[in-house]
């Protein structure tokens, strides 16, 4: 059930990234990013921070590092430091990556009410926001000297805040848009500041800037996604009602399989499965999958005049990139179902009680590290939440802690674990051509990851 809900989103989001690559749109975007400023700190913040922040919000699943690292290397930065920077930077936006997948899907198996899920998202954003004031500086230090960072510190913090302020603000009202919109605003603001040389040490002249019309066209998959998501998520506009209406269109009795229903908004429902109270539904047009990603990719193919061969190549590479994450998700879903079975003797309950007895109220200090362990082994904040959210909930309830805060710590932990995630490290190394440096990179990224957990613990205690 849950795998069908989540899989189209990541697949289609990666698809539109491949669409931009094969149609030449990404080349235009790279040229624009390269032309903004010759200042290395500005380039690292614009591409490694703001641009990656936005891409994480739209796509996730390792895409930000896969896009940002090659661009930075093309600007003359060394591969290994760039790989480390890309991994460390890609932590703050991850909880709301791929249009909020780690939150709405990763925590969805807990069947929490929407207002509680929103509270978890808001608390996660506050914790990330605090960490975001420090972690980017550490990431920069792997590539440039501290003296260069200090010389450009005003720009660095303006760039950081241009992403974090809208990110934290939006998270109090929505858990799909914070990273996407925050990153988009941050990218525009950071680029403007760099153009005007605000907060930057003066350097050489810039490269030629691509035409505005061409750049707008090249960025269509990104801004088009934002526009469609906003139009379909604001109830007052009416589209959300059209996409989620439960007005019946047709129904059929499938015997022991259950009762099949299809609504006018193409929501597929199956009730009374095998004569039980079990039911299933799939909001075809509302779940962030076919709309906006499939829709935007299709329009982009037409807009860029893509050939049939290009379309085939895009889907082929999308399949190749997503097959392993899909397998990991499916495996995690099976394991989660088994861990939650058994009522009061369920494995998640037993583990939760064990940790609660061992740590008690002190669990808040270490909760994020459990999420990080999940991300380290599974390669995903979403999968980490799927596996450990139930355990975290059980611990919180057994120890008398704030459940929403502990689940926020879990989600933050899964995000910070992306820095040391084996899958992400291997993927970045393969993309930029680094050989036999995975262990070296992890020994560097683990330090900011541990610091991230300390910050999470401090903020968690303060907002309790």
Give the DSSP per-residue string, 338-390: HHH-SGGG-HHHHHHHHHHHHHGGGGGGTHHHHHHHHHHHHS-HHHHHHHHHH
* Percent share of the chain, pLDDT over 90: 39
Residue 295 maps to a domain:
no
Supply angle C-alpha 4, 11, 406, rounded to 5: 65
Residues 192 and 249 in one domain: no
Spatial CB neighbours of 114, under 8 Å, sequence gap ≥ 6: none
Residue 417: pLDDT band with limits 50, 70, 90:
very high
What is the residue range of 77's domain?
37-205+341-462
- pLDDT at residue 449 above 70? yes
Tell me how long the chain is: 464
Residue 63 covered by a domain: yes
| 69 lies in the same domain as 185 | yes
> Is the CB of residue 325 less than 8 Å from the CB of residue 61?
yes
Mark which of 283, 298, 317 sits at the end of a domain: 283
- Whole-number pLDDT of residue 208: 64
What pLDDT does 358 receive? 85
Q: Are residues 120 and 44 in the same domain?
A: yes
Would you call 214 exposed, middle or buried from its count of C-beta atoms within 10 A (0-12, 13-18, 19+)? Answer: middle
Same structural domain, 261 and 132: no
Which residue did the predictor score with more confidence, 154 or 266?
154
pLDDT for residue 94 is more than 80: yes
**Burial of residue 120 (number of CB atoms within 10 Å: 0-12, 13-18, 19+):** buried
The answer to whether position 178 is within a domain reads: yes
For residue 400, give the 3-state DSSP assignment.
coil
CA distances from 79 to 50, 83, 334 (A): 19, 6, 38
* Structural domain includes residue 20: no
Residue 13 has pLDDT above 80, yes or no: no
| CA 338 – CA 347 distance, rounded (Å) | 8
Does 124 share its domain with 249? Answer: no
Dihedral of CA 87/90/91/97: which sign?
negative
Chain segment 22-55, per-residue pLDDT in tens: 778 778 877 777 778 889 999 999 999 999 999 8
Domains contained in the chain, number:
2
Same domain, 383 and 256: no
The residue with greater pLDDT, 305 or 413, is: 413
Cβ atoms of 289 and 100 closer than 8 Å: no
On whether residue 154 sits in a domain, the answer given is yes
- pLDDT for the residue numbered 238: 81
pTM of the complete model: 0.76
Residues 244 and 114 in one domain: no
Asked if 186 and 259 sit in the same domain, the reply is no
- In the structure, what pLDDT confidence band is assigned to residue 2 with cuts at 50, 70 and 90? very low
Q: Are residues 123 and 169 in the same domain?
A: yes
Look at residue 301 and tell me if it is in a domain. Answer: no
Chain segment 365-391, per-residue pLDDT in tens:
999 999 998 888 777 898 889 888 988
280 exposed, middle or buried (CB, 10 Å; 0-12, 13-18, 19+)?
middle
16 CB-near residues (< 8 Å, 6+ apart): 58, 59, 221, 225, 293, 296, 297, 300
pLDDT band with cut points at 50, 70 and 90 for residue 333: low
DSSP H stretches of helix in 49-95: 52-58, 63-74, 79-89
Query: How many CA within 13 A on the CB side of residue 62?
Result: 22
Highest mean pLDDT among 112-116, 160-164, 306-310, 439-443: 160-164
Q: Are residues 256 and 390 in the same domain?
A: no
Q: Is residue 18 part of a domain?
A: no
**Are 278 and 348 contained in the same domain?**
no
What are the pLDDT digits (tens) for 347-367? 766 776 777 778 888 999 999
With left for phi above 0 and alpha for psi between -120 and 50, is residue 60 left, alpha or beta?
left
Same domain membership, residue 190 and residue 41: yes
Spatial contact of 95 and 415, defined as CB atoms under 8 Å apart = yes
Instruction: Report pLDDT digits (tens) over 221-259.
Output: 778 877 887 788 777 778 888 888 888 889 898 888 888
Neighbours of 188 (CB within 10 A): 13
Question: Residue 146 has which token pair?
Answer: 């501290």
> For residue 447, is it within any domain?
yes
Please determine, for residue 10, whether its predicted confidence score (pLDDT) is greater than 80.
Answer: no
The pLDDT-based confidence of 438 (bands split at 50, 70, 90) is confident
Residue 281 pairs in a beta bridge with 269
pLDDT of residue 427 exceeding 70: yes
């Amino acid at each position: 059930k849950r795998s069908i809900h989540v899989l189209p989103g990541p697949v289609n989001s990666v698809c539109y990234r491949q669409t931009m690559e094969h149609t030449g749109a990404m080349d235009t975007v790279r040229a624009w990013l390269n032309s903004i400023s010759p200042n290395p700190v500005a380039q690292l913040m614009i591409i490694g921070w703001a641009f990656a922040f936005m891409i994480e919000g739209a796509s996730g699943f390792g895409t930000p590092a896969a896009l940002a690292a090659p661009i930075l290397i093309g600007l003359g930065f060394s591969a290994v430091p760039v790989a480390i920077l890309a991994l460390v930077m890609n932590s703050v936006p991850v909880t709301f990556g791929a249009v909020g997948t780690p939150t709405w899907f990763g925590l969805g198996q807990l069947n929490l009410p929407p207002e509680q899920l929103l509270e978890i998202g808001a608390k996660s954003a506050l914790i990330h926001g605090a960490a975001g004031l420090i972690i980017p500086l550490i990431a920069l230090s792997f590539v440039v000297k501290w003296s260069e960072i200090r010389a450009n510190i005003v720009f660095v913090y303006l760039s950081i805040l241009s992403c974090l302020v809208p990110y934290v603000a939006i998270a109090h009202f929505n858990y799909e848009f914070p990273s996407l919109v925050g990153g988009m605003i941050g990218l525009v603001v950071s680029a403007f500041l760099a153009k005007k040389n605000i907060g930057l040490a003066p350097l050489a002249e810039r490269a030629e800037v691509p035409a505005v019309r061409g750049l707008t066209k090249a960025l269509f998959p990104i801004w088009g996604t934002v526009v469609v998501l906003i139009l379909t998520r604001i109830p007052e506009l009416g589209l959300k009602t059209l996409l989620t209406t439960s007005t019946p269109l047709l129904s059929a009795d499938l015997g022991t399989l259950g009762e099949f229903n299809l609504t006018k908004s193409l929501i597929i429902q199956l009730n009374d499965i095998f004569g039980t109270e079990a039911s299933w539904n799939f909001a075809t047009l509302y779940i962030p999958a076919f709309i906006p990603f499939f829709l935007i990719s299709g329009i982009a193919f037409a807009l860029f005049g893509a050939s049939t061969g290009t379309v085939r190549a895009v889907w082929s590479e999308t399949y190749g990139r997503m097959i392993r994450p899909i397998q990991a998700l499916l495996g995690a879903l099976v394991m989660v179902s088994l861990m939650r079975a058994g009522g009061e003797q369920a494995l998640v309950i037993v583990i939760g009680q064990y940790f609660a007895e061992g740590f008690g109220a002190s669990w808040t200090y270490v909760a994020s590290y459990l999420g990080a362990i999940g991300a380290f082994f599974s390669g995903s904040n979403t999968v980490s939440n799927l596996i450990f959210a139930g355990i975290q909930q059980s611990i919180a309830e057994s120890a008398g802690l704030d459940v929403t805060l502990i689940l926020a710590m879990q989600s933050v932990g899964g995000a910070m674990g992306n820095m040391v995630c084996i899958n992400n490290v291997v993927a970045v190394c393969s993309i930029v051509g680094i050989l036999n440096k995975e262990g070296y990179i992890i020994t560097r990224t683990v330090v900011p990851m541990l610091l991230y957990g300390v910050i999470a613990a401090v903020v968690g205690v303060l907002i309790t």
